[in-house]
Amino acid sequence: MTVSTSSMRLLIREQIPRPVVEASTESAAGSEADAEARRLAAAISRGDESAFRALYERYHQRLFRLALVLGHGDESLAHDTVQSAFVTAARKLRRADSEEHLWNWLARVARQQLSHAWRKQRHDSTVVAMEPLPDCAASAEPDSVLEEILDAALTSMEPEDRQLVEFFYFDRLSQKEIAGRLDSTPKAISSKLERTRDKLRALIKRRLSHET
């Protein structure tokens, strides 16, 4: 496989088991998602590039959100973590029993990559004036809680700051594209992004400290 390393009013009628119908619908959707996860994993193990692209498109944003919180708001580290996690998936993913199994596998790889990056930084004598690093990237908090931390941090930001973060990190727009949408200049967007990064990083750290 060639892979760059480089989501009532009528009482009698209401006796129709709506919850059962909804559960059945959800179950069917879950079964389809599980089957798709198994298909993707199997295809990737055979070197199918289209399956790898589908995996990336399906999980990239969620994995980045997780890595952003685990990395305490360091978006550069989060991007590197996600890239490394998908490179590992291209090389080592062999099977998945369900969508949950596949996501947990990717999340575990991301945690391992973060731990590796932090250990490397600790022993890199060229790194100076570096912030104290966590002992381990594998947070005790479940993924859902970590994602809620990011959502809460984003919600507490000013709307224009939140929009900028979503454009740049989640919609993956370039600074030039964002400038066009906001009737601004790439230079102004770059400066605003830098300030917004600092705000988001501080909010994530604050909320993480409240959770621990």
Res 3 pLDDT > 70: no
Indicate whether 133 belongs to any domain. no
Q: Which residues contact 61 (CB under 8 A, 6 or more apart)?
A: 170
The predicted-structure confidence for 26-50, as pLDDT tens digits, reads as follows 566 678 999 999 999 999 999 999 9
* 103 and 187 assigned to the same domain: no
pLDDT of residue 83: 93
49 shares its domain with 96: yes
Note down the domain range covering 106.
27-128
Q: What is the domain-level CATH number for residue 149?
A: 1.10.10.10
Which pLDDT value is given to residue 46? Answer: 95
Residues 123, 50, single domain; the answer is yes
In this predicted model, what pLDDT tens digit does every residue of 140-178 receive, in sequence order?
A: 456 778 878 888 888 888 999 989 988 888 888 899 999
Q: Mean per-residue pLDDT for 50-55?
A: 96
Query: Would the pLDDT of 8 be above 60?
Result: no
Pair 201, 74: CB distance under 8 Å: yes
CA separation, residue 105 to residues 36, 53, 133 (Å):
15, 17, 24
Please state the pTM of the whole predicted model.
0.67
